[in-house]
C-alpha cells in the first residue's frame, strides 16, 4: 500500500472517530442551566456552589487549582462559541464582534469607545508599551514580580530605545508597597507599568493609590490587569489608570485567545497607534489623497486594532459576562476570597516550614496563594502534585522558585484539602 493511501486511511479513520465523538459533546453542552438567584449567595453554601461546578466540563479526576494560568469555560460559553461560529459558517454573516466592546466596557466601568478588542493580555501590553512617547533615559517603574508578558516588551524597549526599567518588590502591606514605589521616583520617571495582581503570588496591588500618585506626578499609569476582571469588581474610571490590559480567558472564564485593552478616551491622542487596519480608521480617506493625518484614526480605541475577528469567540465573551452576572460578581468574589483564605489558613497551620509569599492583609489578597516549602525543591513538589492529579503552577519568574495555587468558583474545600495533604507530607 502506498504511503499516501495509508495516510488517507489514517486520516479517514480519525475523521470518522471525530464524527462519532460529536453526539457525546453535544449532550454535554446541554447541561441544565443555573437557577436564577437574585441577591446574596453565601460563600459557604456548598449546595449552590456544587450546582455551579456542574456547569463546567472540567474533569473530576483532577483538582484544577491553576485558574491563574487559564480559566476553564462553563458549558454556556462553549455553546455560545459554537453558535457564534455557525452564524458565519452557516449563513455567511460577517462582523458583529464590535458589540462585545460595549459589554466589556460596562463590565469594567469604562465607555465603549475606550475598549479595543485584543487576543490576550500580551497584545494589549505591547500596544501600550510601543505607543507611549518614551525616549532614551526615560524611566519606567515596574515590580520584580512581572510575568514575561509585561516584562519583556519593556525590556525590549530598554534594549532598542534606551528607556530605563526600575523595579521594586511588592511589600506585605499596601502602604509599604506605595512607599517603595515613591522611593523610586526621579525627575526622569515617565511611566509606571505594574500588575493589578502579580501572577507570582496573587497580591492585589493598591492600584487606585498608584494611579492617583502617578497623575499627581505627571506619570503615565499602565496596569497589567490579567488577573483583575472576574476576580474583583472593577471600575476603571474610578481607578484612574491611563490604560489597562486584560483578557477574558482567565478569571472571566471566557474563550481562550480573547482579550481587551482599555485606553482612557483623553489618553488616546497621546498613545500612538502603530498596528492599524480595517476598523482602525474613520472611513474618510482614499488613496487619491494621501498622506493621511492623525485625524484619520477611528475616534475610539478601535484605532488600536484592525481586521477580521472570530465572532464565535466574542459571542463566548458575551456569554461569559452573562454567566458571571447570573451568579453575581460580588458573590463570586466572596466565594473565591473565602477559598483563598481557607487555602492560606491551611498552609499557615502547617508551621514554620511554610514560607507564604502572599500577604495576609485583607485588602491585598483574594484567590491566589504563592509559597515555598523550606528546604524543598519546588519543581519536585510540582511533579508530586501532578502525579496526584492536582494541577498547580511552578513560579520560576525572577528566581522566585516557589509554587502558586489559585482557586475559582468550580473549586471546593475538599480539593484544597487534597492539595494541603500533599504539602503536609513534605513538611513532616
Q: How many Cβ atoms from other residues are within 10 Å of residue 356's Cβ? A: 17
How many residues does the structure list for the chain? Answer: 428
Q: Least distance to ligand PLP from the beta carbon of 183, Å?
A: 23
Closest to ligand PLP by CB, 132 vs 354, is 132
C-alpha grid cell, residue 267: 489618553
Q: What angle do CA 277, 283, 286 make, to 5 degrees?
A: 85
C-beta of 247: minimal distance to ligand PLP in Å? Answer: 4
Residue 231's alpha-carbon distances to 139, 206, 299, 344, 391, in angstroms, are 31, 15, 31, 17, 19
Near ligand PLP in 225-284, by CB under 6 A: 226-227, 247, 259
The Cα–Cα gap between 262 and 245 comes to: 6
Site membership for ligand PLP, residue 408 (CB under 6 A): no
Total of residues contacting ligand PLP (CB under 6 A): 14
DSSP annotation string for 360-418: --GGG-SSEEEEEETTS-HHHHHHHHHHTTEE-EEE-GGG--EEEEE--TT--HHHHHH
- For residues 210 to 229, the per-residue mask of contacts with ligand PLP, x marking binding by CB under 6 A and - elsewhere, is --------------x-xx--
Contact assessment for residue 166 and residue 185, using Cβ atoms and an 8 Å cutoff: no
Task: Determine if 397 is a binding residue for ligand PLP (CB under 6 A).
Answer: no
180 contact partners, CB below 8 Å, separation of at least 6: 168, 169, 170, 171
Place of cell 468558583: 409
Contact yes or no for 120/247 (Cβ under 8 A): yes
Nearer to ligand PLP, 354 or 395 (CB): 395
Residue number, 151 or 263, with CB nearest to ligand PLP: 151
CA-only gyration radius of the chain, Å: 23
Instruction: Answer positive or negative: Cα dihedral of 383, 388, 394, 400.
Output: negative
Question: Which residues, 139 to 198, sit near ligand PLP by CB under 6 A?
Answer: 147, 149-150, 195
| Nearest to ligand PLP of 43, 229 (CB atom) | 229
Q: Does 121 bind ligand PLP (CB under 6 A)?
A: yes
Shortest distance (Å) from residue 263 CB to ligand PLP:
17
Least separation in angstroms between CB 204 and ligand PLP: 12
Residues 60-79 that bind ligand PLP (CB under 6 A): 69
The residue from 120, 143, 280, 346 that contacts ligand PLP (CB under 6 A) is 120
Among 15-23, 114-122, 135-143, 173-181, the segment contacting ligand PLP (CB under 6 A) = 114-122
Instruction: Between 226 and 239, name the residue whose CB sits nearer to ligand PLP.
Output: 226
Binding-site member from 66, 100, 113, 122 for ligand PLP (CB under 6 A): 122
Site string for ligand PLP, 290-319 (x = CB under 6 A): ------------------------------
Task: Kindly state the smallest distance separating residue 341's Cβ from ligand PLP, in Å.
Answer: 21
| Distance in Å, CB of 206 to ligand PLP, minimum | 16
When the beta carbons of 150 and 369 are compared against ligand PLP, the nearer one is: 150
How many C-alpha atoms does 227 have within 13 Å on its Cβ side? Answer: 29
> Closest by alpha carbon to 198, among 168, 237, 158?
168
Residue 51: its H or E element: helix 46-53
Among 80, 163, 199, 405, binds ligand PLP (CB under 6 A): 199
Residues of this chain that interact with ligand PLP (CB under 6 A) are 69, 120-122, 147, 149-150, 195, 199, 224, 226-227, 247, 259
Amino acid at each position: 500500500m502506498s504511503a499516501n493511501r495509508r495516510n488517507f486511511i489514517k486520516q479517514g479513520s480519525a475523521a470518522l472517530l471525530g464524527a462519532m465523538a460529536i453526539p457525546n459533546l453535544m449532550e454535554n453542552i446541554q447541561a441544565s442551566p443555573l437557577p436564577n438567584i437574585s441577591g446574596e449567595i453565601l460563600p459557604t453554601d456548598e449546595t449552590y456552589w456544587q450546582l455551579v461546578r456542574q456547569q463546567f466540563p472540567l474533569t473530576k479526576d483532577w483538582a484544577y487549582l491553576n485558574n491563574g494560568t487559564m480559566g476553564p469555560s462553563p458549558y454556556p460559553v462553549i455553546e455560545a462559541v459554537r453558535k457564534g461560529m455557525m452564524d458565519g459558517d452557516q449563513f455567511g454573516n460577517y462582523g458583529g464582534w464590535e458589540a462585545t466592546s460595549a459589554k466589556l466596557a460596562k463590565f469594567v466601568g469604562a465607555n465603549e469607545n475606550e475598549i479595543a478588542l485584543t487576543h490576550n493580555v500580551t497584545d494589549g501590553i505591547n500596544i501600550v508599551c510601543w505607543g507611549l512617547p518614551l525616549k532614551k533615559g526615560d524611566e519606567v517603574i515596574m515590580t520584580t514580580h512581572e510575568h514575561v508578558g509585561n516584562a519583556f516588551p519593556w525590556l525590549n524597549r530598554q534594549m532598542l530605545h534606551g528607556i530605563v526599567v526600575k523595579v521594586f518588590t511588592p511589600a506585605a502591606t499596601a502602604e509599604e508597597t506605595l512607599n517603595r514605589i515613591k522611593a523610586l521616583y526621579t525627575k526622569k520617571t515617565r511611566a509606571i507599568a505594574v500588575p493589578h495582581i502579580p501572577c507570582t503570588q496573587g497580591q492585589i496591588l493598591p492600584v487606585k493609590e498608584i494611579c492617583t500618585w502617578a497623575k499627581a506626578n505627571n506619570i503615565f499609569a499602565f496596569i497589567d490587569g490579567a488577573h483583575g476582571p472576574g476576580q474583583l469588581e472593577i471600575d476603571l474610571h474610578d481607578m484612574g489608570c491611563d490604560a489597562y490590559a486584560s483578557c477574558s480567558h482567565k478569571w472571566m472564564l471566557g474563550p481562550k485567545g480573547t482579550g481587551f485593552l482599555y485606553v482612557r478616551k483623553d489618553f488616546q491622542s497621546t498613545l500612538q497607534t502603530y498596528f492599524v487596519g480595517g476598523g482602525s480608521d474613520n472611513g474618510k480617506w482614499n488613496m487619491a489623497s494621501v498622506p493621511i493625518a492623525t485625524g484619520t484614526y477611528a475616534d475610539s480605541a478601535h484605532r488600536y486594532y484592525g481586521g477580521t475577528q472570530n465572532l464565535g469567540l466574542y459571542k463566548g465573551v458575551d456569554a461569559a459576562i452573562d454567566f458571571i452576572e447570573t451568579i453575581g460578581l460580588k458573590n463570586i468574589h466572596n466565594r473565591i476570597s473565602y477559598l483563598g483564605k481557607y487555602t492560606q489558613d491551611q498552609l499557615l497551620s502547617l508551621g514554620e516550614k511554610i514560607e507564604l509569599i502572599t500577604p495576609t492583609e485583607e485588602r491585598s489578597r483574594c484567590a491566589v496563594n504563592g509559597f515555598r516549602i523550606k528546604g524543598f525543591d519546588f519543581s519536585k513538589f510540582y511533579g508530586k502534585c501532578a502525579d496526584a492529579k492536582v494541577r498547580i503552577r511552578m513560579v520560576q519568574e525572577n528566581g522566585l522558585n516557589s509554587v502558586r495555587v489559585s482557586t475559582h468558583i468550580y473549586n471546593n474545600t475538599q480539593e484544597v484539602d487534597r492539595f494541603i495533604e500533599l504539602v503536609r507530607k513534605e513538611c513532616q
